[in-house]
Amino acid sequence: METVLASAMAILGTLLGAIVSGRAQERAAARAAEANHREEIRRDRLKAIMDLTSAVSEHRTVMWRRGDAMLKGRSAERIEVLRDESHESRKAVTGPLTALLVLIQDQEVHDAATHMITLTYAMREAFPSPSDLAEADTREAAKDTLTAARYDAVVAHDRFRDVAARYLNAT
C-alpha cells in the first residue's frame, strides 16, 4: 500500500509540476507576444512620424521652388509644372498625417504636426502676386516674405520632430 501511495504522490507531483511549468511557459509566451506587439506599434509610430516629416519637407521644397520660380520670372509653363507638383506633394501629406493621428493619441504631437503643416501650407500666401513682380524693391520684399515663411515652416518642422521624439522616448 505504501508503494501505491508513493507512486500516486509521485504521479501527482509530476502532474502538478507539468501544470505549473506549462502555466509559466504560457505567461512567458504572452509577455513576449505583448512585447513584440508594443515594439511593432512603436515601429509603426516611428514610420508615421518619418513619413509625415518627409512628405511635409517635400511639399515645403516644392513650394519654395514654385515661389522662387515666380520671383525669377520663369515661364508660365514652368510655373504650371511646379503648381502641379505642389498639388501632388500637398496630397502626399494626407496619408502620413492620418496614420500619425490614428497611431499616436497625444495632443502635443497632434498640435505640433498641425502647426508644422499649417505653416508649410501658409507658404502659398507668401507667393508674390504679378504686381509684386513689377518693381525690384517689391520683388525683394516678396522674396523676403517667402524666405521668412519657409523659415517659419522649417522651425515648426524641427519642433514637431522634437515633440515626436520626446513622445517616442517616453513610450
| Residue owning grid cell 496619408 | 95
pLDDT (0 to 100) of residue 37: 83
* pTM of the predicted model over 0.75: yes
Rounded distance, CA 62 to CA 68, Å? 10
pLDDT (0 to 100) of residue 92: 97
- Residue-wise pLDDT for 65-74, tens only, equals 999 999 998 9
